[in-house]
Amino acid sequence: MNAMRITGYCFPLNATEQRLSLKLQPEFNFEELSKAIDADEIWNAEVPRAYKRSTVIRELKSDDEIAKEWGMAARGNANISKEIMDKIKKNQAGKKDNG
């Protein structure tokens, strides 16, 4: 968990983790970024800038379809990468050993 905090995947809990996290981050030039943003243009705009909307329309699946997909994954017939299947099998083997 410490490694995740230091690399930025989780919030650091103390000053040491924060310092190590900042050491791993690339230098960031705030002055260059501030030149690229014109605050007056933002505040004085008569028409607000339009937000980008997603053009992807997702179709909701029924519970039966979801259950069928999960069943296929359990039997090894789903389109899942080998790495993910290996992790699932390793996790399941660990549960059988410990449980």
CB atoms near residue 7 (< 10 Å):
12
Q: What does the pLDDT read at residue 74?
A: 63
Q: How many domains does the chain have?
A: 1
Confirm whether 67 is domain-assigned: yes
Confirm whether 74 is domain-assigned: yes
Q: What is the pLDDT of residues 60-80, one digit of tens each?
A: 888 888 777 776 666 666 677
| 45 or 3: which leads in pLDDT | 45
DSSP 50: P
Distances in whole angstroms, Cα of residue 13 to Cα of each of 8, 9, 16: 11, 12, 8
Confirm whether 31 is domain-assigned: no
Residue 99 has pLDDT above 60, yes or no: no
Distances in whole angstroms, Cα of residue 70 to Cα of each of 17, 32, 55, 63, 66: 39, 49, 28, 11, 6
Q: What is the pLDDT of residues 5-62, one digit of tens each?
A: 767 778 888 888 888 888 887 788 888 888 888 888 888 888 877 777 777 777 788 8
Confirm whether 32 is domain-assigned: no
pTM for this model (two decimals): 0.29
Q: What does the pLDDT read at residue 77?
A: 63
Confirm whether 36 is domain-assigned: no
Q: And the tokens for 40? A: 């007056």
Spell out a b/e string for 31-46, using b for 16 or more CB atoms within 10 Å of the CB, else e.
eeeeeeeeeeeeeeee
Confirm whether 88 is domain-assigned: yes
Q: What does the pLDDT read at residue 53?
A: 76
Domain that holds residue 84: 63-98
